[in-house]
Amino acid sequence: MPRRSLRVVSATVAGVALAATLAGCGQLESRRHAFPDAVYGPAPTPAVTGSAPEASGPNGPPTAAPTASPAETVDPSEPYADLTARQLLDRAATASKALTTVHTIASLRDGSETMRIDVAVDLAKKAFTGTITANGRTVEVRLRGSDAWLRGTKAYWKDAGAPDDVASRLADKYVHFPETHDGHEKFADLLGVVDPAFATADFTRPRRLPARDHRGEPVIAVEARSGADELTVLLAADRGLVPVRVGDDAGNSLEYRDQDEPVTVARPAASQVVSAEELTGDIELPGV
């Protein structure tokens, strides 16, 4: 999945409907919110200003010289006082790769709407189970290997526009989406957002902030940029610098909890499954 800022991830995930609009006699019509197409591309890169020298690219056109990280003043009593902000992020990236499971809670804003992702993730098996809530609707989501499932209540499906009989059929059932279903790949890309490694990659101009406590745990704070956005990453000072939170100045955040705790992503019982392939029309999976 290409690297995206929290702002773009927020708009992109929120811009994909969590449910389909069911029209007519069981017809399913996929629906997207009317967000600008621009949010589905990469975050804009801020313009380079000043008189920094330009370096020649491999084929002639000049490329902007890289910008240095801001100077840092670190209290020598703080943990890892000898490491720069970049070195802290590098250590955090290594610590993230060693994690096997995590409980991720994301709060992603788009205008006046806030979407919440709450999933337990098996990083080793590339699987997750939990819920996504957006626009007042909550749907259970599950990914295991090449299989994906969505599960909503009758009220959920009726709110999405389902006729009463169709909503009754889908109520509290797991709608199964095989790997071949359109949109499966983007749904699986949610793994890249809920993985703590998301909090450590591709940042520019990182700098240390004063150490603090977060949810009763001492953390080291690093401020950095991702595209045009400024982010603050919190790293667990007593647990090898694993990321515990990343947030931006627009109210978007990702919390990483219960790391390396047991996570089970079970395949639903066959009696509880309805195949998306059996339904007329398309259901669009949430994704990035």
Provide the residue ranges of all domains of the chain, joining segments of one domain with +. 6-23+104-194+266-278
- Res 220: pLDDT: 96
- Res 211: pLDDT: 93
- Res 218: pLDDT: 96
- Res 277: pLDDT: 73
Tens digits of per-residue pLDDT, 256-272? 999 999 999 999 999 99
Q: Where are the alpha helices (DSSP H) in the chain?
A: 6-14, 85-98, 154-159, 164-170, 184-188, 190-194
Residue 276 zone, left/alpha/beta (φ > 0; ψ -120 to 50; rest): alpha
Show the low-confidence residues of the chain (pLDDT under 50).
1-3, 11-58, 60-68, 281-282
- Res 286: pLDDT: 59
**CB contact set of 198 (below 8 Å; sequence gap of 6+):** 192, 246, 254
- Res 113: pLDDT: 81
Tens digits of per-residue pLDDT, 125-156? 999 999 989 778 888 999 998 899 989 888 87
- Res 24: pLDDT: 27
